[in-house]
């Protein structure tokens, strides 16, 4: 690669000076200065790229950490949701059993009350029957007494 008529650029990037005269000195120094400026600019650009690469690498590491924390968090939340669903299922089963027991208890109580009511009605009917028999007996006795008292007065 040719740099100028007064010199060449080697593969390593250094400037090779050909044998020249003293009149070429200002030209060589300006070419050397331009070459150094371009090298400095290239080094600055490389430094900027390295800095950007490190910043991106740091961001990537941060993102890995965030993803790991989110995965742990979601795993923890899944476990918590599973535990809560199990607890809810257990409570629902208890409520179902209690509701069934209460239903059976109320049915038993209802049947028992119905039997008691039937017994009370039956006993009331028996009592009314005995009261009627008692009234009939009293009436018969009263009639007999009146009849005997009339017969004793007539005699």
Q: SS3 for 19-70, per residue?
A: CCCHHHHHHHHHHHHHHHHHHHHHHHHHHHHHHHHHHHHHHHHHHHHHHHHH
Does residue 155 fall inside a structural domain?
Answer: no
In the sheet that holds 2-4, the strands lie side by side as 2-4, 7-9, 15-16
Name the domain count of the chain: 1
Sign, Cα dihedral of 128, 134, 135, 140: positive
Does residue 117 fall inside a structural domain?
Answer: yes
Report, as an integer, the average pLDDT of 15-42: 65
State the residue range of the domain holding 43.
2-146
Does residue 106 fall inside a structural domain?
Answer: yes
* pLDDT computed for residue 150 by the predictor: 73
Helix or strand holding residue 98 (H, E): helix 25-154
- Taking CA atoms, 86 is separated from 49, 74, 77, 91, 95, in Å, by 55, 18, 14, 9, 14
Q: Left, alpha or beta for 13 (phi > 0: left; psi -120 to 50: alpha)?
A: left
pTM of the model: 0.43
Per-residue pLDDT of 43-58, as tens digits, reads 788 888 999 999 999 9
Does residue 152 fall inside a structural domain?
Answer: no
Cα separation, 124 vs 146, in Å, equals: 32
29-43, 45-59, 94-108: range with lowest mean pLDDT: 29-43
Does residue 151 fall inside a structural domain?
Answer: no
Does residue 82 fall inside a structural domain?
Answer: yes
Does residue 154 fall inside a structural domain?
Answer: no
Give Rg (Cα) of the chain.
60
Sign, Cα dihedral of 103, 108, 111, 113: negative
């Amino acid at each position: 690669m040719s740099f100028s008529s007064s010199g060449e650029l080697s593969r390593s990037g250094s400037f090779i000076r050909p044998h020249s005269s003293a009149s070429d000195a200002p030209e060589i120094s300006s070419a050397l200065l331009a070459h150094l400026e371009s090298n400095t600019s290239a080094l600055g650009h490389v430094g900027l790229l390295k800095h950007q690469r490190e910043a991106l690498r740091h961001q990537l590491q941060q993102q890995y950490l965030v993803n790991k924390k989110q995965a742990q968090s979601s795993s923890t939340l899944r476990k918590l949701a599973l535990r809560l669903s199990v607890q809810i299922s257990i409570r629902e089963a208890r409520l179902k059993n209690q509701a069934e027991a209460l239903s059976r208890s109320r049915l038993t109580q209802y049947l028992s009350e119905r039997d008691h009511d039937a017994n009370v009605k039956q006993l009331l009917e028996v009592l009314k029957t005995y009261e009627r028999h008692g009234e009939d007996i009293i009436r018969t006795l009263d009639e007999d007494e009146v009849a005997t008292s009339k017969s004793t007065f007539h005699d």
